[in-house]
Amino acid sequence: MNDPRSLPQSLRFGIAGAGAIGCTVAAMLAHAGNPVSVLARGATLGALQAQGIRLQHQNQTINASVTASDSAEQLGPQDVLFLCTKAQDIGSILPRAQPMIGPETIVIPLINGVPWWYFQGVESRHTGRAVETVDPHGELLRALPWQQLLGAVVFITAERPEPGLVVSPNPMLIIVGELTHQRSDRAERVAQALNHAGIEGRVSERIRDPLWVKIIANLTSNPLSVLTHATLDQLYGDPRISPVVRKVLLEGLTLAAAYGARIEFDPETFTAQAMAMGPVRTSMLQDALAGRPLELAAIGDSVLELAALQRIPMPVTQDILGMAHYRDEILRTTENRDGDKQ
């Protein structure tokens, strides 16, 4: 395989997964003049081909034209491919997107939770193992050489009210970094392109540090939002919910430290910044309300898997995840029963 760290001067960006995050990133990159190809299907494909992407970001509306197709062969190899599906859908989107991945394509998963690549690229007693809860048989590890991956942590709040329309009210940040915790030209190039497109792009030489910040942010908000239907400002600010959030936060910080992560925030600062995001519904709450599968495996179960490897108890987190799984199963059972009656 050629060294993917040597990139051409102009980058062709591919997006696999045209949900809220995928359409937001695609719109920003295309609006800045980058060639963007989006792998989509169904009503979303029709909307993108007919009118492009409409993005309502803060006080402006962006109309961006992209090349959209349900055929990865038609779109062809890209310089950078963002995987923007839910974590549990990576296994199905990756084979579909394979024709968009050439020997020098940089593949950047923009996913929640513990990524399947977590134990690749750095030396530890767990080096090379799969994260079973998100990659049960190691299929993702075998599907793509980890050297082609660029780690990423995405801080973007977005909703998709309808196909082709996305709303993203807050500033956007994507942190990229090598799995080996080394600097590279390719990470710098991607970050520069993101910054030029209006998405704050940063390069981290220790990508697992900001990854743990995002893991903890998801852990303290997403499962609880399914149980309470609370928005971010309510989760972190309501005196009836915030004490539970703080307990999960402290459990997450303890686990992050056990894996050597350097977390630069204190609990009060973290809580204040999360509350300041405003009345935003978590992605998991959006999925629950729409009857879609929840990312409980990546956002929660994988964290408990890593905790078990370190023999660190997380009782509050475990209880909340158990209730979230129960609620998800009850809702699905009810939906299936109601569907059978129709």
Q: Is the distance from CB of 220 to CB of 212 less than 8 angstroms?
A: no
Asked if 227 and 237 count as a contact pair (C-beta separation under 8 A), the reply is no
Q: By the 8 A CB rule, do 67 and 38 touch?
A: yes
Contact 64, 55 (CB under 8 A): yes
CB 133 within 8 A of CB 179: no
Q: Which amino acid is at 145?
A: P
Residue type, 219: L
- How far apart CA 215 and CA 321 sit, in angstroms, is 14
Burial of 232 (0-12, 13-18, 19+ CB in 10 A): buried
User: Nearest 5°: phi and psi at 56?
Assistant: -95, 105
Tokens in use for 79?
A: 């310089």
Give the helix/strand (H/E) hosting 324.
helix 315-341
Distance CA(207)–CA(60), nearest Å, equals 31
Nearest to 262 by CA among 195, 188, 207, 225: 207
Residue 341: exposed, middle, or buried by beta-carbon count in 10 A (0-12, 13-18, 19+)?
A: exposed
247 as an active site residue: the answer is no
Which one-letter DSSP state was computed for residue 301?
I
DSSP designation for 299? I
Which of 86, 214, 247, 341 is flagged as catalytic? 214
d(CA 201, CA 136): 32
Q: Using alpha carbons, list the distances in angstroms from residue 230 to 211, 234, 238, 286, 288.
A: 24, 6, 9, 11, 12
Just list the catalytic residues: 214
